[in-house]
Amino acid sequence: MWLTVMIVLAAIFNVATPAKAAEPPAAVQQWKLDGIQLGDKASRVKGAWGNPFKVAEDNLTGCKVWKYREGKSVGMCDGVVSFVQVTAEAGSAVINRKSVPMVQSKLKQALGKPAFVADDGWGVLKGEEALKVFVDNRGKLLSIELFADPCGV
């Protein structure tokens, strides 16, 4: 009988902590290339890089390409960044606030093991973003480019 009373009292006065609510998964930090990330607004790009010396139209997408003398360019679609490119002539690229010389071995060291390799380069992924190192047909470094991963590689 006492056992039944104790069980009932324990159920009534149960002060156990409630189950912890499931936390949403941590957001994947976006890549930043020379201080710019995908989705940044035009004002953010101008604040970081200034005004482009040339604006061209991308024939494939119809978006604008802002070109800078420092070997950098950015794609602008509907007022937001769709890609960021730093060419080898820039000498270095700042990847998530870390300056990396535009040398393939240094880029591989900074970015880690490639997630994909293609005839025109190799790259790494972070969430739905790709950071790709482009090379010519002799393997010479051309550029590094940040863009949305359209294939889900």
List the chain domain ranges.
31-148
pLDDT tens column, 8-39: 444 444 444 444 444 444 455 689 999 999 99
Question: What is the pairing mode between strands 121-126 and 129-135?
Answer: antiparallel
Return the pLDDT at 36. Answer: 97
Token pair in block for residue 150: 């359209």
Residue 65 has pLDDT above 60, yes or no: yes
Instruction: Assign domain 31-148 to a CATH class.
Output: alpha beta
The arithmetic mean of pLDDT across residues 130-141, rounded, is 95
Residue 30's pLDDT is what? 84
Q: What is the pLDDT of residue 60?
A: 85
Q: Which two tokens stand for residue 5?
A: 């009373």
- Whether this model's pTM surpasses 0.85: no
Residue with tokens 């976006």: 30
DSSP-assigned letter for residue 89? G
127 Rama class: left (phi>0) / alpha (psi -120 to 50) / beta? left
* pLDDT reported for residue 10: 45
Average pLDDT, rounded, for the chain = 84
Structure confidence by residue, pLDDT tens digits, 93-122: 999 999 999 999 999 999 999 999 999 999
pLDDT band at 151 (very low <50, low <70, confident <90, very high): low
Which long-range contacts link 92-100 to residues 24+ away (Cβ below 8 Å)?
A: 93/33, 93/34, 93/144, 94/32, 94/33, 94/34, 94/35, 95/31, 95/32, 95/33, 95/131, 95/144, 96/29, 96/31, 96/32, 97/32
Residue 58: alpha-carbon gap to chain centroid: 21
Per-residue pLDDT of 81-95, as tens digits, reads 999 999 999 999 999
Inter-residue contact 71 to 83 (CB < 8 Å): no
